[in-house]
Homo-oligomer: A and B are copies of this chain.
Amino acid sequence: MKKKRNTKQKATVYRVVQSSNDHPTAEKVYERAKKELPSISLGTVYRVLKELVSEGKIKEIIVNKQSHFEKRTDHHHHFICRECGKIEDVETPLCRYTCRKVEKKGYVVEDIEYKFYGLCDKCAQKLNIKEKEVAQV
């Protein structure tokens, strides 16, 4: 296989993801990377992100048919707010019972992904207030 090289672009993209506490899209990573390395291109960002994912250095999570990236590579799940679109990490124990149920049929489970959709605390609060106002009319 071919030998990989260290380039400014790779280092920058990696650094951007590592210093992001949200779950940026490729476009967002691109925006942030450009601040450090203005000449970087979106295509390169896509290429590097893909490489980092396949090397297991970062993780990809797909929300609404769009890739988002995160520095955490350990096993965890996500909550997605339908109002503000915020993605938040969720720690859950592996559901052994469920896995075994799937595997019993001869299936091999290699990865599990849980996604929780709803409203984050802030949006829930906002919407409750709104609902009450509407109800009063």
Interface residues of A (CB under 8 A from B): 62, 65-66, 79, 82, 90-93, 95, 97-99, 101-102, 105-121, 124-125
A125 to B116 Cα, complex, angstroms: 33
Which of B66, B93, B115 is in CB contact (< 8 Å) with A113? B115
Q: How far is the CA of A65 from the CA of B66 in the complex (A)?
A: 7
**Shortest beta-carbon distance from A134 to chain B in Å:** 17
Minimal beta-carbon separation of A46 from chain B (angstroms): 14
Residues of B within 8 Å of A109, CB to CB, are 79, 116-118
Question: Which residue of B has the minimal Cβ distance to A90?
Answer: B102
Query: Is A114's CB under 8 angstroms from B116's CB?
Result: no
Given contacts A106-B121, A114-B113, A124-B106, contact A92 B82 (CB under 8 A): no
Alpha-carbon gap, A114 to B116, bound state (A): 9
Chain B nearest CB from A115 CB (Å) reads 4
